[in-house]
Amino acid sequence: MKAWRVHRNGEPRDVMRLEETPEPEPGAGQLLVRVRAAAVNFPDALLCRGEYQVRPDFPFTPGVELCGEVLAVGEGAENGEGTEDTADSTDSAGTEGTGEVPAVGSRVLAQPALPWGGFGEQTLVAAENARPAPEALDDAEAAALHIGYQTGWFALHRRARIQPGETLLVHAAAGGVGSAAVQLGKAAGARVIGVVGGPAKAETARGLGCDVVVDRRSDDIVAAVKEATGGRGADVVYDPVGGDAYTKSVKCIAFEGRIVVVGFASGAVPTPGLNHALIKNYSILGLHWGLYNTRDPEAVRACHRELTDLAAKGAVKPLVSERVGLDGAAEAVQRVFDGITTGRVVVEP
Ligand SMILES: NC(=O)c1ccc[n+]([C@@H]2O[C@H](COP(=O)([O-])OP(=O)(O)OC[C@H]3O[C@@H](n4cnc5c(N)ncnc54)[C@H](OP(=O)(O)O)[C@@H]3O)[C@@H](O)[C@H]2O)c1
């Protein structure tokens, strides 16, 4: 089979190689999956560069989320260790309400088990982390409903406890996790201000449902947020960018506001002044969504059910801006890292 592999760290377009590789064999508790669609995420570039919190052995295949078809079930995954998020969800995985692992032939979304990533024809996933792919979404959209939307949901509801009528400020609002946070903020009844880089992304953010859009290249973010909130500031900030985005956020955060630190796409990790947080009564909340898979897996399953329902109602729909064949994966990862894409670019092998 064909898969992209990384043999050394560097820029994605330099170190990702499309190769003929042996087909993976599912181990205990794993599923062998045919990749139908794999969404490109910023961490794919960090993996290539050796800058991600996980450093798989070489060679590895990037691609951290996918929608796929189950081809085979490994030993130990046959005894009901698998997905349980089926009770009241729109289920195309042949597992309705049973608590069993997805059946061979069913359509699932999952995070691949690195070093086997999603940018190949087949891969391996942990049976316990495979979820039924929502029927309301096509393969590319379903692949993109996972990490970005789970992260957005945990950030807004579990960490920031957002309330209807509050103002949510989303940085990189036209990007992958940002576009998901915009839709989830609107679904939660918030007023959403989106910050983007450039007029084309501003158009995308408006299309996603932002009530106010701020172009960080031409507008004064702090002044725009204050103007849009009658001087009060944003109640919740969703920040996947860090650096200047964070610096601006603390200047327009509301009394008892909550800033959720989601990522550092700018490459700059902020060093917050805790005296400032004290003086202005705001909270700085960290979020590493992946930890919930081990710390509170039931909450991840419940979130998937919620997202499936929202997708069925049309309240959320991942923005798939580009669909590329397997050949286009390295270039797509590079462009996401360079900050020039919107929504999700999805690889369809
Ligand atoms: N905490 C978690 O659990 C978690 C989960 C998933 C992802 N993340 C993190 O979330 C971040 C976003 O991931 P994503 O896949 O959704 O990417 P993305 O938002 O689609 O791409 C990054 C965006 O950041 C903005 N940006 C601002 N300054 C930039 C710079 N100097 N270089 C590149 N981009 C810049 C750009 O949007 P504008 O030009 O419009 O500003 C760019 O499109 C990443 O840091 C990722 O690691 C965290």
The residue ranking higher by pLDDT, 180 or 96, is 180
Cβ density class 278-292: b for 16+ within 10 Å, e for less: eeeebebbebebbeb
Ligand 1 center to 175 CA (angstroms): 7
Q: Calculate how far, in angstroms, residue 26's C-alpha sits from the geometric centre of ligand 1.
A: 32
Q: Are 81 and 101 in contact (CB under 8 A)?
A: yes
Q: Is the pLDDT of residue 73 over 50?
A: yes
342 lines ligand 1 (CB under 6 A): no
Q: Which atom of ligand 1 is nearest to the CA of 171?
A: 41
Taking the CA of residue 288 as reference, the ligand 1 atom at the shortest distance is 3
Among 259, 167, 248, 250, which residue's Cα sits nearest to residue 215? 248
Q: What is the pLDDT of residues 216-272, one digit of tens each?
A: 999 999 999 999 999 999 999 999 999 999 999 999 999 999 999 999 999 999 999
pLDDT tens readout for residues 302-348: 999 999 999 999 999 999 999 999 999 999 999 999 999 999 999 99
Q: How many Å lie between the centroid of ligand 1 and the Cα of residue 95?
A: 34
**Helix segments in the chain, DSSP class H:** 12-15, 42-49, 139-144, 147-153, 176-187, 199-208, 221-228, 244-249, 274-280, 292-295, 297-313, 329-337
Tokens standing for 17?
Answer: 């190689």
pLDDT for residue 86 is more than 60:
no
Looking at the predicted structure, is the pLDDT value of residue 87 above 90?
Answer: no
Ligand 1 contact via 343 beta carbon (within 6 Å): no
| Cβ neighbours around 15 below 10 Å, total | 19
- For ligand 1, the distance from its centroid to the CA atom of residue 266, given in whole angstroms, is 7
Task: Answer whether 229 contacts ligand 1 (Cβ < 6 A).
Answer: no
Q: Is the pLDDT of residue 90 over 70?
A: no
Q: Is the pLDDT of residue 119 over 50?
A: yes
Which protein residue has the closest C-alpha to ligand 1 atom 2? 288
Q: Is the pLDDT of residue 81 over 60?
A: no
pLDDT (0 to 100) of residue 97 = 38
Closest C-alpha to 232, from 253, 247, 258? 253
Q: Which of 348, 293, 303 has the alpha carbon at shortest distance from 325?
A: 348
Handedness of CA 100, 101, 107, 112 (dihedral sign): positive
The residue to mutate among 262, 300, 337, having the most atoms of ligand 1 within 8 angstroms of its beta carbon, is 262
- Return the ligand 1 atom nearest residue 180 CA: 16
Smallest CA separation from ligand 1 atom 28, residue: 266
pLDDT at site 100: 62
DSSP 201-250: HHHHHHHHT-SEEEETTTS-HHHHHHHHTTTS-EEEEEESS-THHHHHHT
Give, using CA atoms, the residue closest to atom 31 of ligand 1: 266
The answer to whether residues 212 and 177 touch, using CB atoms and an 8 Å cutoff, is no
For residue 96, the model assigns a pLDDT of 38
Q: How far is the CA of 236 from the centre of ligand 1 (A)?
A: 18
Quote the ligand 1 centre to 348 CA distance (angstroms).
Answer: 22
Q: Flag whether pLDDT at 88 surpasses 70.
A: no
Among 87-91, 190-194, 245-249, 317-321, name the one with the lowest average pLDDT: 87-91
pLDDT tens per residue across span 131-187: 999 999 999 999 999 999 999 999 999 999 999 999 999 999 999 999 999 999 999
Res 101: pLDDT: 81
Q: Mean pLDDT across the stretch 189-207? A: 98
Amino acid code (one letter) for 285? L
Looking up tokens 């996947």 gives: 240
